[in-house]
Structure 1
Amino acid sequence: MRGIGYGGDYNPEQWPESTWAEDVRLMAEAGVNLVTVGVFSWSRLQPAPGELTAGWLDRVLDLLADAGIGVDLGTGTASPPPWLVTEHPEILPVTADGQRLAPGARQHYCPSSPAFRAAAADLAERMARRYARHPALTMWHVSNEYGCHVPACYCETSAQAFRDWLRARYGSLDRLNETWGGAVWSQDYTSWDQIQPPRTAPTFANPAQQLDFARFSSAELLDCFRAEREAIAAHSQNTPVTTNFMGLHRAVDQFRWASELDVVSMNNYPDPADAESYMLSAMACDLTRSVGGGRPWILMEQAPSTVNWRAVNVPKAPGQYRGLSLQAVARGSDAVLSFQWRAAATGAEKFHSGMLPHAGTDSRVWREVAGLGADLGRLAPIAGSQVSAAVALLHDWESWWGLELDSHPSRLHLVDLLGAFYRPLFAAGVTVNFAHPESDLSAYRLVVVPALYLVSDAGADNVRRFTANGGTVLVSFFSGIVDPRDRIRLGGYPAPWQDLLGLRVEEFAPLPAETTVRLDGVVGWPGLSGSSGLSATGRLWQDVIGLRGAEPVLRYASGHLAGQTAATRHSYGEGEAFYLGTLPDRVTLRGLVAEACGRAGVEFRTDVPPDVEMVRRGEYRFVISHLDREVEVDLGGKSRDLLSSEIVGPGVVLGPRGVLVLSSRD
């Protein structure tokens, strides 16, 4: 690819061949240079076992190649065809309560099924053999949205695969029984055959068993990907291979998966009805860039306007498609694709918007699609550059799985907590990476640790070392609670970080929904002191904190913990550590995050207008308004806007959902 890729999923098999030439002509008119083809085409590519019947696909790819449009070629394996289900009904997945899911939708396969894996690898190999040297081929797209509809299967085939996985992981039943706490509720196993997936039971299933099953299920899906990737590699070794993640999606451990992909891709569908959808979208973009190690990635799917699967499908507002697309580029994407090119006329997705809508080219959506293509053409110099960040949010899928298990002090939702800490950083123009707890943290100045329930010894040591070497860390409640076996770290909470934080949590006191406690600031803390008139509250959680060297920053001012410490600061080595024993209101949390940034030497801007996004990629600074009205922005100087080629600033008025891409050279 040269420049920024632009296009979407193209499903020509759903349309008469007479429309294909028009599609290609309109793609060129809109600036499209990359389309995804064949993702759900298995039944048309292989109506029966055996050779491909792909003459139609040959003609489509030839048309695209002649127009200079690259193809992200799908293996077609995300939706098994009826003949495969009829021949092998055992491939159908089973839910935790024993219900076997029926065909008729998509992703109706058990990831552990040998019959499914063999058929999928066979199709991928045939596709690679036929198209490896086709001039349109730009990239391979394996399956689609792994774990979206079937994150885990509980059938007997999966049960046996789970036993094999456990035997390889633990080696002996004694070790497994010790790890799973078999002494609790008489759950010691004396034979591997006795072990089952954590199916629906009379009450809470064994949490360590549930955690291992989540690890196993992610690994089984990854093995499905590997099997197709290896089948492709037998004929097409030099073409990159991808599959599409889904942002903050719980089923697959993207840190483990990303190293297996040549390029990381992501589908992003923020809800236009959500006033903060642009912030959640940015968070998904930052996560995708981060799991890929910072290298450029691909926005594989988004909606040009509406989707079809929410209870109420609100359309994107004028300019919102453009703004969120350029947000992805700002945060490291080298391609902007949508689902889908031509809005379908039949099937379950016929009310999902397309780049070419039902209304045709005389429509707002088409005009925005063509306008975005022109914009992306002007951003070619940005392709290949990277995004740097001074702040990291620690995130680990295994901790996520553990955090949201049942039989806990309270129901916590990690995405909400990540958003709470991400929000003030985003609003202040602070770019964030997501980092695994065991990854190299030396490039960051501030590390934020939101509810990292499960942490390994290596991860705990890594955070201590980062702080001792001069970093600043901000840790929230319910972090460092268990080890990777989901076993409580004894001695008070958080056991691995009591010396780091200078405190010991004796007891949890979670708050009921819609309940808050008042908080008082401590004199001497800018913006947080009681004398400043701060009216602060905490919600969701309370820790009973005993100070062991830390100084209080906030205290509870109501409830049975009134007068006790709610948030702290502690010097540790050359750095310092903040701790939050509750979730403060947005204003108070913003003040705490600003204080942590200031002490870490991270610029925390207070002059960025609300709902305006600022982020730097390489030598370019993106300014994106998510407002439906004009807004004044201080750019701090004059710069050339890559989109308009005009010199703008230092003050500028952005129109509704306006965007600037500013070069630091001017």
Structure 2
Amino acid sequence: MDELFDGRLLYGAAVYPEVLDAATFAADAAHMRRLGMNTARLGEFMWSALESVDGEIRLDVLDRALDVLGANGLSAIVCTPTATPPVWLTHGHPERLHHTADGVALGHGSRQHICTNNSVFRDRAARITRTIAAAVGNDRRVLAWQLDNEFKSHVGGCHCATCRGLWTGWLAARYQEVDLLNHAWHSAVWSETYQNFAQVPLPGPTPFLHNASLVNDFRLFSQECINGFAREQADIIRGRSTLPVTHNSGFGFDLDNAALFENLDFSSFDTYPSANNHSAFLMNLDYFPRLARSRRTVLMETSPSHGGSVRHYGVPHPHGFVEAEAFANYASGSAGFLFWLFRQHRGGSEQAHGSVLSAWGQPTIGYASAEAIGRLLPAVKPLLDHSSPAQPAVAVHYSDHAKAFLETEAGDHVGYRGLISAFHAGLVRAGIQRSLIPVEASLAGFRVLFTPFVHHLPEQDRARILQWVHDGGTWACGPGTGGRTEHHTWHADSALGGLEAAAGVESVFQFPATGSDSRGSILGHDVVLSRMSTFFRLPENDAPGAATALGTVTGGPAEGLEFATERRIGAGRMILLGSYPGAGAGTGGPDGSGAYDGGAALAAVVEYACAGVLPRVRTAGGTVAEYLRWRNGRLQHWLVNMGGEPGAFTLLWPARKLLGKQAVHADNGSHASHPALTLSAGVHTLGAYDYLVLEDIKEEQSL
């Protein structure tokens, strides 16, 4: 594939010509262009406007909208409208609707209310997609395609009759023989043994809990089904269009993102973080660029001011935060930044959502941010065009399969997303540049790897990682990793499968440490131990290559054992964490005990593991984030303060300042040339939501 979007960087918003009169839509398009926008996304909820009666498809609304956008210099991302089926498709047909685990059929009036596995839906979805793709598939006004909208953002697996039949077939294909299923699931427990695949139920209501293996497999089945729908839609489009295809995903949806984007041309994501949780925004930038064929991403939806609906009012962002988001977005290598939405909806359920223009056409509190980004993009684009993102030295495994495991086994009521977000936030606070990668991804170019909360670590991935360690990598494995088989059962030979043998330790106890008065000491920090934990015994000899203690249990049922160990393996080392060292994010963290160390112990473990790869610009402990880029063999430091107070950063060597926020907005956005300044080594301050671009130099004249 040629360079994505021919090297263009996108800036724009979602628009809805189907709900506006022609004059208003034309005025909005002109207004978008005046703000410096170059892209509009449309069509994801347009189905009934295109096909008001079954089989009578008229694309007039879409075609007129593309004309207006094109006349104003705006390229279009066209979406397939399958997230909002028209009423004629479901009225009087409850069998086509999405059914909850309780057997309730969801009705018309929102979105994602239909079963995406239903054959009638798939036929009509294919027809509307085929018609749109044939009409505008290679239209000069169109830039890219988006499939549907936010797959599984509102619903999980469907329990309708269609899905019941598909579930039976999926199990038969996966296990071949029902005896193999019974063995894998340990279905003899509670006399759950099945005689044929048709007897295996959907995980609906029961007096207590379903077998964990059944629940976990149903999550996997549901993820594979929606990805199958995505492949079908993408294939239809590619038969009629050469334009790139994506889907707007997110961390909170019931998806396998890595598998979804394997078949798509670029990734895109939606995110609505609060300003006081800026690491949640950065987490998207650390993950989604690693997916899809082009290894490029676009921020497809975020708010210019606040989220919200008629049920929930969002909190407006402080002035400057959204511009800081946009700077970080482009600095990270993202190819686009789009708002949801340009003009506020007059009706519907999201009337209270932030927008660029109000329902009556006046600038909102988010308008200033839209103006600011319109000045930012032309200022940074020349720098971005002549540089490329530097791969971080540190990787963190992110796994939607692990998320499914922890939804099945949420014994302490803390989900995977909260845990991995807290872990990621610790890396951000430590000032460590990082990438989030799928478990199966290549480790080429990385020097440190963290694998937390991955309940099941496939044997082939463990072997591949250990070879990377032998070649010189540092692997911090755990906490919460390796304790289950692929079927969500305990291992038969040890607590953590093959991890203990690799780490050179013996597992002694495994129990939920939360609330057990378990305490430990690690790297000079006394900590409360929490979550399902594994405690180790070291070998009795101290032969070369033997494991050594890193964290020792000082109180509780496992007192005297180890909860963290280290072992040299070839040219690298393996750190095994058996328990969460300290409470996590928020009040009381994962264990809810109220004992919170501010993440100091975790930060100490992170810094210990990352010894030798610490950055040249130190941002630890504050709100300053850094993205590294290469230009002509020199390293650039794109720094942004994501916080509402001044933040500090430390230069270990002098650096030349290429751009700052003040220059972006000086001279009415003309970006007139300003003399380059040299910042000396030492501590510097970056104002609230301020940003700048530095480039390494030899020590010359200092400022």
- Of 53-62 and 601-610, more deviation after overlay is shown by 601-610
**Aligned pairs (5 A) from 1:273-288:** 275=276, 277-288=277-288
1:219–1:665 CA distance, 2 compared to 1 (3 A): farther
Aligned with residue 623 of structure 1, among 629, 632, 639: 639
**Secondary structure, counterpart of 1:509 in structure 2:** strand
SS of equivalent residue, structure 2 residue 191: coil
The answer on 1:300 being equivalent to 2:291 is: no
1:240 aligns with 2:244: yes
Deviation digits for residues 418-471 of structure 1 (CA, Å, limit 9, x no counterpart): 233323322233222223333322321111110211121112212222222221
1:122 maps to 127
Secondary structure of 2:555's aligned partner: coil
Any idea what SS the aligned residue of 2:563 has? strand
Q: Distance in 1 between matches of 2:458 and 2:117?
A: 28
Answer yes or no: is 1:354 the counterpart of 2:366: no
- Please, which of 571, 575, 591 is the counterpart of residue 604 of structure 2? 591
CA shift, 1:157, in A, is: 0.7
Return the offset for 1:62: 0.5
What does 1:31-110 align with in structure 2 at a 5 Å threshold? 31-86=36-91, 88-110=93-115
CA contact (8 A) 2:550 2:565 kept: yes
Tell me what 1:547 maps to.
538
C-alpha distance 618-104 of structure 1, shift in aligned 2 (>3 A): farther
1:296-445 pair list within 5 angstroms: 296-309=296-309, 311-358=312-359, 360-381=361-382, 382=384, 385-406=388-409, 410-445=412-447
Q: 1:8 to 1:573 in 2, by over 3 A?
A: same
Match status 1:255 vs 2:238: no
Distance in 1, matches of 2:323 and 2:645, equals 16
State the secondary structure of the residue aligned to 2:221. helix
Distance in 1, Cα, partners of 2:69 & 2:361: 21
Q: Would you say the 8 A contact 2:617–2:649 is kept in 1?
A: no
CA distance in 1, matches of 2:619, 2:326: 24
- Compute the displacement of 1:553 (Å): 1.9
Q: Does 1:190 align with 2:181?
A: no
SS in structure 2 at match of 1:36: strand
Runs of 5+ consecutive residues of structure 2 not aligned to the other structure: 540-545, 583-598, 664-672, 699-703
What corresponds to 1:456 in structure 2? 458
Residue 594 of structure 1, CA deviation: 0.5
Cα distance in 1 for partners of 2:488, 2:61 equals: 52
Distance, in Å, in 1 between the alignment partners of 2:288 and 2:307 is 22
List alignment gaps of at least 5 residues for structure 1: 522-527
- In structure 2, C-alpha distance between the alignment counterparts of 1:584 and 1:432, rounded to whole Å: 21
Report deviation, 1:55: 1.6
Kept after mapping to 2: 8 A contact 1:445/1:602: no
**Which TM-score applies when normalising by structure 1?**
0.92
Q: Distance in 2 between matches of 1:577 and 1:284?
A: 27
RMSD over aligned CA atoms reads 2.4
Residue 572 of structure 1, aligned match among 562, 569, 577: 569
Identical positions, percent: 26
Alpha-carbon distance in 2 for matches of 1:469, 1:287: 25
Cα distance, 1:546 vs. partner? 1.2
How far is 1:541 from its partner?
4.8
Is this contact kept in 2: 1:438–1:458, CA < 8 A?
Answer: no
| TM-score after normalising by structure 2 | 0.87
Q: Are 2:499 and 1:497 aligned?
A: yes
Matched, 1:149 2:154: yes
Q: What residue number does 2:560 align with?
A: 563
Shift of 1:386: 3.6
Between 1:438-447 and 1:78-87, the stretch displaced more is: 438-447
Superposition map of 1:517-536 within 5 A: 517-521=518-522, 528-529=523-524, 534-536=525-527
Cα 1:168–1:3 change in 2 (3 A) is same
* 1:662 correspondence with 2:694: yes
User: 528, 533, 538: which is aligned to 2:529?
Assistant: 538
Runs of 4+ displaced beyond 6 Å: none
Distance 1:293 1:47, change over 3 A: closer
Pair 1:641 & 2:659 matched: yes
- The alpha carbon displacement at 1:158 in A equals 0.3
TM-superposed deviation, 1:358 = 4.4
C-alpha separation between the residues in 1 aligned to 2:33 and 2:398?
A: 41
